[in-house]
Amino acid sequence: MSWLRFGNGLLAVGVLSLGGMSAYADNCNSCQSSCDCAPCAPQMTTVCCTEWVPEQYQVTVTKYRMEQSQENYTAYKSEMVPRQMTRNYTVMVPHQENYNVTVTKCRTETAQENYTCYKTEMVPRQMTRNYTVMVPHQENYNVTVTKYRNVPYQQQVTTMCQKWVDVPQQITVCRCVPEQQTVQVQRCEAYQEQVMMSRTVDRGCWQTHVEQVNNCCNDCCNNCCPQTRCCRVWVPNCVTEQYPCSVTKYRSVNVPCQVTVYRQVQEQQTINCKKCVMEPVVSTVTCYRCEAYQEQVPCTRTVCHPEQRTQNYTVCECVTTPYQATRTVCRLVPYQEQVTCCRTVCHPEQRTQNYTVCECVTTPYQATRTVCHCVPYQEQVTCCRMVPHTVQKQVPCCNTGCNSGCGSSCGSGGCGSSGTECCAASSCCSSKRKGLCRKG
C-alpha cells in the first residue's frame, strides 16, 4: 500500500512539472541566419511546486501470541510386578521294554545214504520210486501288541488379564473466540481537478529574403561580380496560450474496515483417561494324556510240510555184479528259536513346575505439563503515506530586453517581430531544434 501511494505521488509531480513547460519551437534556423549577435544571459524565475513525499507514522495495533505455562497434575503409571507360582502336573513317560518270542525256523542238513549200483553190463530199466520232500509254505498269524496314543481332553484354566478402562475426567481449557469489529482507517484517495496551464506556440510564417552573394567569375580576376539570391526563411512568432489540464490530486479519507479480534474464553471439557485393571478370564485348554490299547498285528512265517512225490527214472542194471554206494542227501530240519523284541510302555510320573506371573500395579505420581494460553499485546507498527509539500524551484524565463546587441534585423525579422519576446541566440536556437528551449 505504501509503494502505491509513493508511485501516485511521483506521477502527480511529473504532471505538474510538465504543465509549467512551454511548447517546443519547430525551427529556429532563420533566427540564427539573420541574427548573428552575442548570446543573451538566461534569466531565472522562482516557481512554487507541490511535491508528494513519503512520510512514516506510527500506529498501535493489538496482536495475540501464544504463551506457555507449566501445570501440575496427577498421573498414573502401571508397572508389571513378577510373582513366582508353583503347580503340579502328571506326565506319561515312555520306557523301552524288551521281551522274548519263540519262532520256528528251518535249516538244511546233509546226510549220507547207501544205495546199490550195478556194473559190468548196464541194462536200462524204467523204475518208479516215491520220496518225501519238505516243501516250505507261507503262513499268516496274528500277534497282539500293546500300543499307546495321546487322547485330548478339555480343561478349564483361570488367568488374570489386563484391561484398559476409560475413566472420564473434567479439565479446564482456554480457547480464542473470533469477533468482528469495525475500525476507521485512513486511506489516500486520488481525484481529478481542472487547472489552467500556459504554453508557448510558434505562429510564424515563411518569408522571401534577397541576400547578396560574392561569387568570383574567374580565379585570375581581381574584382568579383556581385550577385543576389532569393531564399525563403521561417519567421517565428511565439504566442503564449492558456489551456485546461486535468491534474490528479490526493486526499485522506476515513474508510470503515472490518477486523477480527480474538478473546480468550475458558470452558470445561471432559476427557477420557485410560486405567489398567486386572480381571479373571476363564479359558478352555486342550490337554493330552497317554492311553494304552491292544492291537492285532498280522505276521508272516515260513513253515515246511512233508510231501510225497513219485519219480520215474531209468536204472541201468548190472547183469554181473551189484555193489553198494554212498551218496549225500540234503533235507530241511525245523527248529525253535528265541527272538528278542522291543516295545514302548508309558508310566505316569508326577512333576512340579515353577512359573512367573506378571501382575499390573497402578501407582499415582505428580507430573508437569505445558499449557498454551492466548495473550493479547500492543505493538507499534510503522506505516507509510504520501504528504504534499510546497517547494520553490529556479527555472529559466524570457526577458523583453534581451534584444540588445542584436540590431534592428533581430527585432523586425528575428525571433520576436514585436520586440517583446526573447531574441534567442544561436545556442538557444540550437536547443530549440533539439526540443530543449522552454518557457517557465
Q: How is 418-430 classified by DSSP, letter by letter?
A: SS-S----HHHHH
pLDDT range class, residue 420, cuts 50, 70, 90: very low
pLDDT of residue 359: 85
pLDDT of residue 29: 43
Q: What is the distance between the alpha carbons of residues 136 and 302, in angstroms, rounded to a whole number?
A: 6
pLDDT in tens, 92-111: 888 888 888 888 888 888 88
| Beta carbons within 10 angstroms of residue 173's beta carbon | 12
| Beta carbons within 10 angstroms of residue 163's beta carbon | 11
Q: Which three cell numbers stand for residue 16?
A: 505538474
pLDDT range class, residue 431, cuts 50, 70, 90: very low
Q: What is the distance between the alpha carbons of residues 252 and 386, in angstroms, rounded to a whole number?
A: 10
* 289 contacts: CB under 8 Å, gap ≥ 6: 92, 150, 151, 153
The residue to which cell 494324556 is assigned: 289
pLDDT in tens, 262-296: 888 888 888 888 888 888 888 888 888 888 888 88
Highest mean pLDDT among 13-27, 332-346, 388-402: 332-346
Of 36, 18, 27, residue with least CA distance to 423? 36
Which residue spans within 203-224 are E strands per DSSP? 205-215
pLDDT range class, residue 414, cuts 50, 70, 90: very low
Whether 16 shows a pLDDT value over 80: the answer reads no
pLDDT in tens, 156-214: 888 888 888 888 888 887 878 888 888 887 888 888 888 888 888 888 888 887 777 76
More confident residue, 122 or 3: 122
Q: How many CA atoms lie within 13 A of 285 on its CB side?
A: 9
The predicted model scores a pTM of: 0.20
Give just the sign of the alpha carbon dihedral 30, 35, 41, 46.
negative
* 94 contacts: CB under 8 Å, gap ≥ 6: 148, 290, 344, 345, 346
| 8 A C-beta contact, residue 283 and residue 159 | yes
| Beta carbons within 10 angstroms of residue 438's beta carbon | 19
Average pLDDT over residues 346-359: 88
Whether 342 shows a pLDDT value over 80: the answer reads yes
* CA distance to 68, 187, 264, per residue, from 64 (Å): 13, 25, 10
